[in-house]
Amino acid sequence: MFDALLRIFALTRKELLAILKDPRSRYSLFLPPILQCLIYGYVATYDLNDVPYAVLDQDRSAASQKLLAGLDGSRVFRRVANLERAVDIKNMIDQRRVVLVVQIDQDFERRLLSGAQANVQVIADGRNSNTAATAMGYVSSIVESFNSDWRTEHGQGDPPIRLSTRAWYNPNLETRWHMIPALIGTLTLLQTLLLTGLSVAREREQGTFDQLLVTPFRPSEIMVGKALPSMFVGIMQATLVLLVAQLWFRIPFAGSFFTLYTGMSLFVLAAIGMGLLLSSMAATMQQAMLFSFLLIMPFSLLSGLTTPISSMPESLQYLTYINPLRYAINIAHRVYLEGAGLRLLWPELWPLAIIAAVTLPIASWLFRHRLT
């Protein structure tokens, strides 16, 4: 027993040296995660500001001016042109000079004063339909507030029904609060898969894996020796992202560190199991790298981070159940933003435990049986 521990310790030490000795590989462990955190924190947002738009105001009345003043004063929109003719709309949008054009017909004010419905047309560039839909949503809410002002000013009273909305856990609806905690899972997965995959593939490519197999190491000991350093590095990187989230972006942490680290350790174990399984299929470092990339792309697309899982077709929703990243991102969000405890997290924890319990033994069995 003591011998086994000693052997595992020696292997772990050797693996850590292999990872940390080369300064370039040291940098590539810590620099990319920090850079990615910053990029995601500043860039990954569907919120819009400074949207260029143009106006075709055929009414030129006090009412239309007031509506447009609402758009200009919103900080979301920036008026870049006042159009004269309807044909100009096509030019502005085709050449991507504006995201949308607001068109007000010439009977706008007359209809409003006579109590009829007045229309505002919004023509948007659908080449990025997500941006367009968001921008149109902003226009709608500005028109909404114009409406309620108009009713008050013209003695029609407040609208009889009000919608009051409140967002839990992320009161100002900041996309950053969603992205950065999720990176704790995403970046950790990327690095653990790569590290574990490469550590075995490097030995195979250089022929030292066969040497390792003829030493007194048992396959399970080799597995633990390969898993521990990756686990160590994985947890370190999760910590790094956590620090950036709290110290740089100042996203308030609602849960307990103990819960978060319990969840993350389980996740890293599952990721290592997958990495080791992958490395038993890879004969060279190139293969290990490309295979892990091949796995990471679908994992991150099907994790619910960029598109909600409930909007996916049902068959794909089932597929997400074997995706460890799905659980990791849920855990990160729920602990970080919602402050959930272990009991609430149970549905996310046991699938990870099962993934680890299935992949790790198979991987260690494959160490020896692949050779023959």
Partner 1 sequence: MAVLRSKRHSVSGKGQRVWSLVKKESRQVVRDPSSIALGIVLPLVLILLFGYGLSLDVMNVPVAVVLEDPSPDATELAASFELSPYFDAEFLTSMARAQQLMLARKVDAIVRIRPDFGRRLVVGDAEIQVLVHGVDANHARIIQSYAQGAINQWAARRTAKGQAVFSGPVTVQNRLWFNEANESRYFLIPGLIVLIMTLIGAFLTSLVVAREWERGTMEALFVTPVRPDEILLGKTIPYFVLGMIGLALCLLAAKFLFHVPFRGSVIVLISASMLYLLVALAIGLLISSAFKNQFVASQIALLVTFLPAVMLSGFLFDLRSMPAVVRVVTYILPARYYVSLLQTVFLAGDIWSVVLPNAAVLAGMAVLFLVFTRRATQKELV
Which residues 272-301 are close enough to bind partner 1 by CB under 8 A? Answer: 282, 284-287, 289-291, 293-294, 297-298, 301
* DSSP tag of 311: G
Binding test (CB under 8 A) with partner 1, winner from 58, 65, 74, 131: 131
Contact set for partner 1, span 229-258 (CB under 8 A): none
CB of 147 to partner 1, least distance (A): 3
Least distance (Å) from partner 1 to the CB of residue 287? 4
Least separation, in Å, of the C-beta of 23 and partner 1?
Answer: 10
| C-beta closer to partner 1: residue 1 or 130 | 130
State how far the Cα of 135 lies from the Cα of 129, in Å rounded to an integer: 10
CA distance 176 to 19: 31
Of 164 and 372, the one with the shorter C-beta distance to partner 1 is: 164
Q: Which of 148, 152, 208, 211 binds partner 1 (CB under 8 A)?
A: 148
Cα separation, 105 vs 89, whole angstroms = 14
In the complex with partner 1, the residue whose CB is nearer, 3 or 314, is 314
Beta bridge partners of 102: 55, 122
Nearer to partner 1, 290 or 354 (CB): 290
Question: Phi-psi region for residue 214, left (φ > 0), alpha (ψ -120 to 50) or beta?
Answer: alpha
Residue of the chain from 9, 49, 243, 321 that contacts partner 1 (CB under 8 A): 49
Strand order in the sheet with 77-82: 77-82, 51-57, 100-104
Tokens of 165: 């909305």
CB of 276 to partner 1, least distance (A): 17
Of the candidates 234, 261, 284, the residue with the CA atom closest to the CA atom of residue 30:
234
Residue 173 amino acid letter: L
**Which residue's structure tokens are 């500001």?**
49
Q: Which is nearer to partner 1, 2 or 24 (CB)?
A: 24
* Interface region with partner 1, contact rule CB under 8 A, candidates 6-14, 93-101, 223-231, 359-367: 93-101
CA dihedral of 71, 77, 83, 86, whole degrees rounded to 10: -90
Q: DSSP state, 334?
A: I
When asked if residue 34 is in the footprint of partner 1 (CB under 8 A), the reply is no
Q: What is the residue type of 62?
A: A
Residue numbers 207-226 binding partner 1 by CB under 8 A: none
Nearer to partner 1 by Cβ, of 9 and 350: the residue is 350
350 scored as a contact of partner 1 (CB under 8 A) = no
Tokens of residue 134, six digits: 């968001």
Of the candidate residues 20, 60, 84, 96, the single one contacting partner 1 (CB under 8 A): 96
Q: Which is nearer to partner 1, 82 or 121 (CB)?
A: 121
Q: 83 and 54 in contact (C-beta within 8 Å)?
A: yes
Member of 4, 143, 212, 358 binding partner 1 (CB under 8 A) = 143
